[in-house]
Structure 1
Amino acid sequence: MKPFDILLALWVAVIWGFGFVFTRYALTEMTPTLLNLVRFAITALPCLLLPRPKLAWPVWIGISLLLVWQYLTQSWGIAQGVPAGLTAVIVQSQALFTIAFAAVLLGERPTRVQLIGIGVAACGLLMICFTVGYDFSFFAFAVTMTAPISFAFTNLLLRRARDVPMLDLFAWISLASLPPLAAVALLADGPAAIAASLTQLSPGVMAAMLSLSIGSTTIGYWIWGRLLHAYTAAQVVPFALLVPFIGAGASSLVFGEQFGPLRLSGMLIVVAGIAIMLLFGRARPLPEVG
């Protein structure tokens, strides 16, 4: 890769990692439902300039609903006390579930190295399970664990849109996600609470929302898609391994999050398992969401 493109890949990993920090910060003034409604509304704005990609409606609806569930559950988990750094690691475990679901649903036999990576990552998740119940509930952890599962199903559907530009794709997917997000926000928060919250947002939270929407999603995916078109997945995808490290490190510095020896070991083992799958398992390209 060219040095400039390496810097771009590193920058994307940084903004995706910090996305978990911005999410926790925004949740100090917004509910998870409102946060995601505003985020997807901003992300959908490029639809005014970009053509709608050709994609079957069942795929559109499936991806939209899965993304709504993924972002709602991971932000709800953070709101319930699941550390943002730990959430970053949990979400990246989608690589494990993607390979497993592809094997079960599509008959794709994982390689021996991929099976080793799945086993290593699963051991790390099990270690994290043993730390649950002290600073956040097991229920919050269980709900957060559905985010990478939803992410994995999204990956399988996204295989039908490999030739579609990522910027166009996610802008229009964001637009399709607005109706279910608006319905959930109205039911969970109510019109009065939504209006009051939007009129009282601090400049810091507004900046965090713009960073999540424009930085992490719009610009991040545009750069990521550009890199995937210019280089092989084996050259680009490994940079995503930096996301959980950056997310955990930034959360520790900004919020003072601390991880005990068992949880920290589990987090490192999960990332090690993902690294085995991506670097040595000859896995298919796995789209990443910050």
Structure 2
Amino acid sequence: MSSRHLLLALGVALIWGVNFVVIDVGLAHFPPLLFSALRFLVAAVPAIFFLRSPGVPWRWVALVALFLGVVKFSLLFSGMAAGMPPGLSSLVLQAQAPFTLVFAVLLLRERLTRRQVLGMVVALVGLGVIALDLGATSPLGAFLLLLGAAAAWGVSNVVMRRAAPPDMLRFMVWVSALAVLPLCALSALFEGPQRGWDALRTVTWPAAGSVLFVGLMATVVGFGVWGGLIRTYSASTVAPFSLLVPVFGMAAAAVFTGERLTPLRILAAALIIAGVLSGLVRDRRPAVRAPGPSSTPGSTPPARTPSRAR
């Protein structure tokens, strides 16, 4: 990876990590469902008028809009509004990795390697350490909402893998557009139109800035650059940089909000990141082939060199 692309990958991880602190600022003013709707509105408009169709069947766009746009971010923002600190939220959300593996097995009939199973166990132990550190007075309900958000993200990852969009930026803009109306409806139903109107009528500069940052920087710029890096190199090369998101998130929360980095939380971060990384590393053992043109049942085909974008 060139030095320029390395800086871009680090920059996206930094944006996505700091994003959790910015979300916390927005949630201090907006109710969570309305804030999520505004985030996707900013991500979709005006970009949607300058981009072509997503390039995949609309059913895949609708499913990702449901699980990622509506369910994941509704649970994430609601959990943070209920008391989950931003740095810890950035870490707990990494549970999406083991959830993705589980759903890939259930929905795509993929087979897990021993290394992936071990990685899931290590990551789950890290989540258990977080639950232990939260203690009896902590917002357990908010923690469960974050786990639900991670599970919804796992489902959307499997759907996106099946859809294989050719351009992640276009895909995410259309996903954002489809998520706006359901989120507005949920906000009106559960938060009330008056509460939403009061938040919009009395909006402050920090609140407005948080919507713009989360919608434009974290969504449009972040996914645009990330998708470009994956097309240039490969998912296996770029994906490990996402492990820096909770590192930047917890560091930003410690600096800007005074969130404590307890020894248990540092241990949990190490376990979760190690578990996720274990699932990303490919098994490089050579395939075992039987005599003849076909390989033996259950053998692993030889790894192909990732092709680079032309």
Structure 1 position 133, deviation (Å) = 4.2
1:16·1:243 contact (CA, 8 Å) conserved in 2?
A: yes
* Distance in 2 of aligned mates of 1:251 and 1:174: 26
2:54·2:170 contact (CA, 8 Å) conserved in 1?
A: yes
Mapping 1:167-178, distance limit 5 Å: 167-178=169-180
1:195 pairs with 2:192: no
Give a deviation string over 1:50-91, Cα, whole Å, max 9, x none: 111233333222211112111111111111111111110111
1:62 pairs with 2:63: yes
Structure 1 position 104, deviation (Å) = 2.5
2:129·2:265 contact (CA, 8 Å) conserved in 1?
A: yes
Percent identity for Structure 1 against Structure 2: 34
* Distance in 2 of aligned mates of 1:18 and 1:32: 18
Counterpart in the other structure of 1:103: 105
Equivalent pairs counted in the alignment come to: 283
TM-score, L = length of structure 2: 0.87
Structure 1 position 136, deviation (Å) = 2.7
Question: Structure 1 residues 134 and 264, CA, compared in 2 at 3 Å: closer, same or farther?
Answer: farther
Tell me the amino acid that sits aligned with residue 106 of structure 1. L
Counterpart in the other structure of 2:242: 240
Counterpart in the other structure of 2:233: 231
Mapping 1:66-77, distance limit 5 Å: 66-67=67-68, 68-77=70-79
* Distance in 1 of aligned mates of 2:272 and 2:169: 29
Structure 1 position 164, deviation (Å) = 2.3
TM-score, L = length of structure 1: 0.93
Structure 1 position 210, deviation (Å) = 0.8
2:38·2:180 contact (CA, 8 Å) conserved in 1?
A: no
Tell me the amino acid that sits aligned with residue 116 of structure 1. L
Mapping 1:14-93, distance limit 5 Å: 14-45=14-45, 46-67=47-68, 68-93=70-95
* Mean CA deviation greater in 51-60 or 210-219: 51-60
Q: Once superposed, what is the RMSD of the aligned Cα atoms?
A: 1.7
1:131 pairs with 2:133: yes
* Distance in 2 of aligned mates of 1:137 and 1:21: 18
Structure 1 position 49, deviation (Å) = 1.0
1:17·1:245 contact (CA, 8 Å) conserved in 2?
A: yes
Give a deviation string over 1:137-173, Cα, whole Å, max 9, x none: 2222111110110001001110133242111101111
Partner secondary structure for residue 224 of structure 2 = helix
* Distance in 1 of aligned mates of 2:166 and 2:179: 18
Mapping 1:7-18, distance limit 5 Å: 7-18=7-18
* Distance in 2 of aligned mates of 1:163 and 1:131: 39
Which ranges of structure 1 fall in alignment gaps of 5 or more residues? Answer: 283-290
Question: Structure 1 residues 231 and 7, CA, compared in 2 at 3 Å: closer, same or farther?
Answer: same
1:238·1:279 contact (CA, 8 Å) conserved in 2?
A: no
1:13·1:242 contact (CA, 8 Å) conserved in 2?
A: yes
Structure 1 position 25, deviation (Å) = 0.9
Larger Rg: 2
Give a deviation string over 1:87-138, Cα, whole Å, max 9, x none: 1011122111111221233221111211111111111111212233445322
Counterpart in the other structure of 2:252: 250
